[in-house]
Chains A and B, each alone.
Chain A
């Protein structure tokens, strides 16, 4: 079995994995990082499994664990430090989640999005979210939280 060496949430791992093991299963079942969710049959549409690979949002159901060899991964469990990020805090404040199943993927996607788009319009936020399905919220409060987090991250009141 191949061996992968990778860093997940700051911890280095060296693990034997079957070639066909999906990265999302590796994270969830081998490392018990169950905050990364599976919401579709690996067609990559729902976005619940979104993580950061070398800082960039990717869907972990569309990758094999062996493809992550040598890379650095952040999952939802590694997003916050001692306190919530402004985006996580804004999601709480604006009631941007209900069942929470899609939320980790949306937070991972949007935190990457906000790095590249520090001052997005509502339209840009909505287009930035198309890779994540949410069934509960109708997206209204999600859009509001992303906008508010962007403002806070820019240092505006």
Chain B
């Protein structure tokens, strides 16, 4: 029995997307074939840092079936270089200038050097092998801290420095205010009972979607460019193609395929490869397709985190946190990625460092160093995976110093009531952190665990419990997104009613598996009192959808569905105005109920009309209308919250550590979540499961490794290990929700930041288990070899 429309909000509805996806009939980018389509393969740098002395493409061009071979110089005068305003944040930084392919110098292993286009993809691969590049190897810049020292070789010589970005966050807006606040922080440290000081290191890892990137561009002189791109941001990509290729706007259409194999931030930047393929399609007047190999993907994208944080925390001996002071150094990689340039992630990570705790003051500084590695690309938990790890570990260290349960110390320091502005000026709009925390603690019998732990220790077994929590962005308000990425934060949706009573929704963001078709349909169905199956959702096509900045930062549950709800509200207004006129009653929308496919006048329930008839009358028979009304039912709404919004979550993890081998096993993972009003609990559960396992996989397994020459050693799934089903535990998700007062349905955007509290909770659990040895771990990845080494050191065997 299908859920009634009124139950739609909150229903565990099977997804609309799934029927095609479980039968192999989804359409991903690589499934689109155009007649006459050519295949592109990039020749990529074998060196981390080298001068290009020459490129010989003659043998490749001579191969039968090869259509064109481009090198960097072909783009120099025909394509504008990045940065251009459309892909450049409003943050002061040393933005490197670059073209689609390397010119003169390669700056990371895997950088595109030449582009081969052939009729057959096997031939394109053969030809790529025949391109001969003469390199003169240069000393690579690989250590971010050394990169910032005087005399370091430079990645981008014209910049005169490897420091791409730096900033100071003390809550002050001018230099004088910042200094005054920094001095105040220093005074707090001098008077504090407890100071915890540690160097926290998080390795280079990120989120690798199962579908690599891809671009398919088609050109004809009449219509211009149609570009199918694996992207979270089709509208931004369109603007970038217009500006960089100098094509008139009416001649560019970007389509994100309806089915995309995950994004997680990796498909949010504007990439140089997109530009190269669009250029080639225009030059050749043929469809050209590039499908990224996994090898290329792991060489170039999905790399994030990678940061050292020198964190100091001042606290009182009763456990009250007083001040934090952090000096962060992030490894930006080369920075040649539009929109983000690498440093935008550590920027936000520094802003988010104070997390959910009340601090009297903070002094958070960040320096970001360019190196000869792939550019950082956004990865779910955008920027704050390393800072969250540092703060969550430091909180446990304070608890151990003052002899408190870490969970009690956390509760004592959580922001007790919202709204609240953090010491780094981040605004937390709403929610109830204490309720979320208390719900988590209700899932865990802590005294019983401590008893079990003591008994186990007596028997030589080491159990540990760890906690963590996280404030996460629920969408990104224009107030933050304009300075951060030079883009608007509003959500936009067009809702179009069909004469047969069906509803078509159009959104400019481009999801990659989050279930937008289903959640949007549930929202529309609940508002119009119809079935979710009567709703069709189109996303990601700039030719048909209103402008949206993209599927980023948990925008769907916060901004997009809010725009949908507002558009539905406008249409309900119109439907009831005209229905009241037809029924010859004085009534407006609040006097009507949209239920079970009908619009019913509450003053006299016999006065009713089927939704379909009411809609058809306005679209198809617009005569005898009220004065001033015209026919038609379509509305585009733009939703912008007055202030940034958040969601909040908390984790508890129980582990057992083998103190002989360093092996550890996660025995339980339980969470508590404030996600606001839930549209589809299945989908929210799934978001949380996935995010937590991504956090675990990043923390325990995945690591991008560069050798001393900057060679990327982890460019396949044998060496870049993702968690498998056998590596991770079952996960218990529980909820303690507070509807968001700033969205029409009380929903919050969820899932984006969710992995960030995971590494702290996990490492806290392992350190809790190892407390008898006095072991504190301040680095990731957390693997048995590290635990074993720490155990040996603690036992004096190291």
A residues whose Cβ falls under 8 Å from a Cβ of B: 18, 20-21, 28-29, 32-41, 43, 45-46, 48, 75-77, 79-80, 84, 88, 91-95, 97-104, 107, 122, 125-127, 129-130, 132-143
Contact = CB atoms under 8 A, between A and B. Distances in A.
B731 A136 contact: no
Contact of A103 (B22, B685, B722, B728): B22
B262 A143 contact: no
Which secondary structure characterizes the binding site on chain B?
loop
B261 A80 contact: no
A100 B17 contact: yes
Contacts of B24: 33-36, 75-77, 79, 104
Interface of B: 12, 14-15, 17-19, 21-28, 30-31, 33, 122, 207-212, 259-262, 264, 293-295, 512-515, 682-683, 685-686, 689-694, 716-718, 722, 724-726, 728, 730-731
A99 B380 CA distance: 15
From A20, A43, A45, A102, residue with most partner B Cβ within 10 Å: A45
B260 A99 contact: yes
A141 B689 CA distance: 9
A135 B210 contact: yes
Contacts of A99: 209-211, 259-262, 512-513
Contacts of B209: 99, 101, 135
Contacts of B683: 95
A80 B19 CA distance: 11
Nearest to B122: A20
B226 to A, nearest CB: 20
A35 B33 contact: no
A135 B726 contact: no
B726 A102 contact: no
A72 B295 CA distance: 31
A135 B690 contact: yes
Contacts of A76: 23-24
A58 B90 CA distance: 50
Given A129-B725, A140-B730, A135 B23 contact: no
Is chain A's binding surface mostly helix, strand, loop or mixed? loop
Contacts of B717: 40, 43, 45-46, 133
A140 B209 CA distance: 18
A99 B17 CA distance: 9
Given A46-B717, A95-B683, A98-B686, A40 B294 contact: yes
B577 to A, nearest CB: 39
A99 B730 CA distance: 20
A107 B718 contact: no
- Of B25, B512, B682, B686, the most chain A CB neighbours within 10 A belong to B686
Nearest to B732: A140
Contact of A125 (B261, B515, B694, B725): B725
A20 B211 CA distance: 24
Given A38-B30, A41-B294, A77-B25, A100 B513 contact: yes
Contacts of B686: 95, 98, 136-138, 140-141
Contacts of B725: 125-127, 129-130, 132, 134, 139, 142-143
A34 B18 contact: no
B266 to A, nearest CB: 10
B728 A35 contact: no
A40 B293 CA distance: 7
Given A76-B23, A93-B14, A127-B726, A138 B30 contact: no
A71 to B, nearest CB: 19
Contacts of A33: 24
A20 B568 CA distance: 55
23 contacts: A34-B28, A35-B24, A39-B211, A39-B294, A40-B716, A41-B295, A43-B717, A43-B718, A45-B717, A46-B210, A48-B210, A77-B24, A92-B14, A95-B12, A97-B21, A98-B513, A98-B515, A102-B261, A104-B24, A132-B725, A133-B717, A137-B693, A140-B686
Given A34-B31, A136-B513, A129 B210 contact: no
Contact of A84 (B22, B26, B262, B724): B22
A135 B722 contact: yes
A129 B31 CA distance: 25
Nearest to B693: A138
A140 B687 CA distance: 11
> Which 8 A-B pairs give the minimum distances between C-beta atoms?
A35-B24, A99-B513, A101-B261, A100-B21, A138-B693, A76-B24, A138-B689, A45-B717
A13 to B, nearest CB: 18
Contacts of B262: 98-99, 101, 135-136
B716 A88 contact: no
Given A76-B24, A100-B18, 7 more contacts: A39-B261, A91-B22, A98-B690, A100-B21, A130-B724, A137-B686, A137-B693
Given A35-B23, A100-B261, A138-B689, A92 B30 contact: no
Contacts of B726: 126-127, 129-130
Nearest to A77: B24
A138 B692 contact: yes
A84 to B, nearest CB: 7
A46 B294 contact: yes
Contacts of B19: 92
Nearest to A48: B210
A103 B28 contact: no
Which of A21, A48, A101 has the most B CB atoms < 10 Å from its CB?
A101
B728 A138 contact: yes
A89 B129 CA distance: 45
Given A77-B24, A98-B514, A136 B30 contact: no
A80 B23 contact: yes
Contacts of A102: 210, 261
A100 B26 contact: yes
| Central interface residue in A28, A75, A95, A133, by most chain B CB within 10 Å | A95
A92 B22 contact: yes
Contact of A91 (B18, B25, B515, B724): B18
B43 to A, nearest CB: 16
B728 to A, nearest CB: 6
A92 B683 CA distance: 12
A135 to B, nearest CB: 5
Contact of A95 (B15, B259, B260, B718): B15
Contact of A35 (B26, B693, B694): B26
Contact of A137 (B18, B208, B690): B690
A142 B726 CA distance: 12
A79 B122 CA distance: 30
Nearest to A131: B724
A119 to B, nearest CB: 18
Contacts of B722: 133, 135
A39 B28 CA distance: 12
A28 B686 CA distance: 29
A35 B513 CA distance: 16
Contact of B689 (A28, A122, A130, A140): A140
Contacts of A93: 14
A135 B26 contact: no
A80 B32 CA distance: 23
B634 to A, nearest CB: 30
Given A130-B726, A133-B722, A92 B731 contact: no
Chain B CB count within 10 A is highest, among A33, A98, A139, for A98
Contacts of A77: 23-25
A53 to B, nearest CB: 16
A88 B24 CA distance: 11
Given A92-B15, A99-B210, A143-B730, A18 B122 contact: yes
B293 A41 contact: yes
Contacts of B682: 94-95, 141
Q: Which of B19, B31, B683 has the most CB of A within 10 A?
A: B31
B704 to A, nearest CB: 16
A33 B28 CA distance: 12
